[in-house]
Structure formats: C-alpha cells, structure tokens
Amino acid sequence: MAAAMTTPRFVMEPAVTPTVRQVPPRPVARRGRRASTATYWRRRVVAVAVGVAALVMVGKAGAALGDSPLAVPERRPATTPYVVQPGDSLWSIAARLDPGRDPRPLVDTLAASRDAGPLVPGEVITRPR
C-alpha cells in the first residue's frame, strides 16, 4: 500500500481589496426636446455657408472646364483688311486671319469672294463675315 501525503493549502489574499463604485446613470436625451434659438440659427448659418461654398466651387470648376453657356461670344469686326505680301497664299492668309482654327472654311470663303485670278502683292483682301 502506498502512503498518501497531503500538504496544507494556503489561500493568498490580494494586498488591495477591490472596491466597487457605483456610477450614476447618464440622463437619457429626450427625443422631443427642441434646440435653443441660438443653436437653430447657428446651424442655419453653417448650412448656408456650406451651400455657398459648394456653389462657388462648382462655378469655378465650370469656368475652368470652359464652354459656359453664360460666356460672351467673341466679337469680331465685320471685315478684316489684309494686304497681300509676296509669297502669300489663301491658305497662309486664312491662317493669319483666324489663328488656332481650321483654315479650310475661310479659304473657301475668301476664294468665293474674290476673282479666280492669282494673288497680287499689295492687293487688299477683306475677310467677309
């Protein structure tokens, strides 16, 4: 038979005993409560300021993209006189009179508005409307 040996048990208590503190419950906000007049107007001012800022940003983006329907179209004089220089052609004259655009429509208009003869240096060509 075997002998069984038992050892005494020690129960260790913590050095600091835990304390339980009751926290008072927070008051529950009522749903039907109205904000003060100052808060109401402050919210309205902020909402209007945000709306105006958004409107300004959309306007600036539209202006940056161009082709605004409110843009004023370019005004050009009814006729633009041009004195033909040596070596000029209808194509080069159209490119000078309307830079940055396709010169073909203006070349056709210039050719239709004058005689079919060659260009003469010193001749004055007017741009038809």
**pLDDT per residue as tens digits for the range 49-81:** 999 999 999 888 877 777 555 555 666 555 678
DSSP class per residue in the chain: ----------PPPPSS-----PPPPPPPPPTTPPPPHHHHHHHHHHHHHHHHHHHHHHHHHHHHH---TTSPPP---S--EEEPPTT--HHHHHHHHSTTS-SHHHHHHHHHHS-SSPP-TT-EEE---
Q: Does 86 have pLDDT greater than 60?
A: yes
How high is the pLDDT of residue 50? 96
Domain ranges of the chain: 38-72, 81-126
Please compute the mean of the pLDDT values over residues 35-49 and round it to a whole number: 92
Q: Does 111 have pLDDT greater than 70?
A: yes
How high is the pLDDT of residue 82? 84
How high is the pLDDT of residue 56? 92
How high is the pLDDT of residue 49? 97
Please compute the mean of the pLDDT values over residues 29-36 and round it to a whole number: 72
Percent of the chain with pLDDT over 70: 71
